[in-house]
Structure 1
């Protein structure tokens, strides 16, 4: 029974993510989500009670991975290891939660009016943690004196663009869909650009 519930909820979230991303909250109908998920409309209300709750569940499906993605920054002392893992995790979110990522981006661009306050607070705390960690690496001489704010914004933009502008990226690369290798190549490129561009040094580098 639990497995059926999990399968149904996954199908609902995937369908809802697609519709909210493509049509926005107001224009999306629960009936359309139910049809896309191949699940009776009453079942959606059984699991989520309301359209508002379903929208929150879609946001949580991407904000939870986003919050988890920064754990390497928080827990690792070596900036090379931490940044490499963070960039990789952010790209995997764009790959595995593309529609939900677009819903989140649309929410942010609209001023976060429907973003639940607890999620907003957690994301703000995460941002402050990342900036503080970058500042500490700069103070230790592990990174050049770059702007911690703009470094964080650059990583956000460079990784999330693979979800938000996926259609355009595929067109330019003449592909219907990006492959795992494409994301691996992107992670390698972005990591190299960030590490070299910011003069990041390993904690094992004794040249300081």
Structure 2
């Protein structure tokens, strides 16, 4: 910061509340319509604010989207960060799968926001995908390879094992309407999925 440059003032409580209200509204709109289909007018309406008021906090639709994605990426990486190299291999991998399934259950809109961004070519988060995400996946793939070499789990391609966990857990958030339509009333998709995926991965990982 330059010597004569004024320090940025912290947000007031009302400003913090309005900013969070905008982000919550944007999450709802983006998860339904994607980045291209969403408009600032829609976000402002859901937030209960005027468009000029919204633009006071965020200069553009893209700025709101980037803010949501940066927050989401950190939360998305936490379940994989928790995979412990010193733990029991099968239980650690199953624990990761369960954490990802819980994330889909508890944050379906965030999952769809992420999926929509990736389907559009990830123009606003490619740096994060090639940076933090790739580094963490490569780190944990090394752990999986070490477990395989030691004969503690079956010889499976580590990156594709992680991809399969993503696909089989995030599906329940991204295709929630389809899943519930097919299963019908009286089913808990996530409880049923956990039991099935536990069995699937235990059999796959057995050395």
Q: TM-score, normalised by structure 1?
A: 0.81
Q: After TM superposition, which residue ranges in structure 1, 4 or more long, deviate above 6 angstroms?
A: none
The answer as to 2:199 corresponding to 1:192 is yes
Partner secondary structure for residue 122 of structure 2: coil
Partner secondary structure for residue 73 of structure 1: coil
2:92 & 2:123 partners in 1: Cα distance?
32
Contact 1:107 1:113 in 2 (8 A): yes
Contact 1:21 1:100 in 2 (8 A): yes
2:138 & 2:53 partners in 1: Cα distance?
40
1:5 & 1:195 partners in 2: Cα distance?
49
Q: Aligned pairs, how many?
A: 197
Residue in 1 aligned with 2:88?
Answer: 78
2:86 & 2:24 partners in 1: Cα distance?
33
Kindly report which structure 2 residues correspond to 1:96-115, keeping only aligned pairs within 5 A, or say none: 96-115=106-125
Change (3 A) 1:111 1:51: same
Change (3 A) 1:43 1:190: farther
Change (3 A) 1:191 1:46: farther
How many Å apart are 1:158 and its aligned residue? 0.2
Residue in 1 aligned with 2:155?
Answer: 145
2:30 & 2:36 partners in 1: Cα distance?
9
1:103 & 1:36 partners in 2: Cα distance?
17
1:26 & 1:35 partners in 2: Cα distance?
17
Residue by residue over 1:59-78, the C-alpha shift from the partner in whole angstroms, topping out at 9 and shown as x without a partner, is 13421211111122255532
The answer as to 2:37 corresponding to 1:30 is no
Q: Which one has the largest radius of gyration?
A: 2
Partner secondary structure for residue 70 of structure 1: helix
Change (3 A) 1:4 1:187: farther
Kindly report which structure 2 residues correspond to 1:117-132, keeping only aligned pairs within 5 A, or say none: 117-118=127-128, 120-132=130-142
Structure 1 residues without counterparts, runs of 5 or longer: 201-208
How many Å apart are 1:11 and its aligned residue? 3.5
Please provide the CA RMSD for this pair: 2.5
How many Å apart are 1:17 and its aligned residue? 2.1
Change (3 A) 1:169 1:139: same
Q: TM-score, normalised by structure 2?
A: 0.81
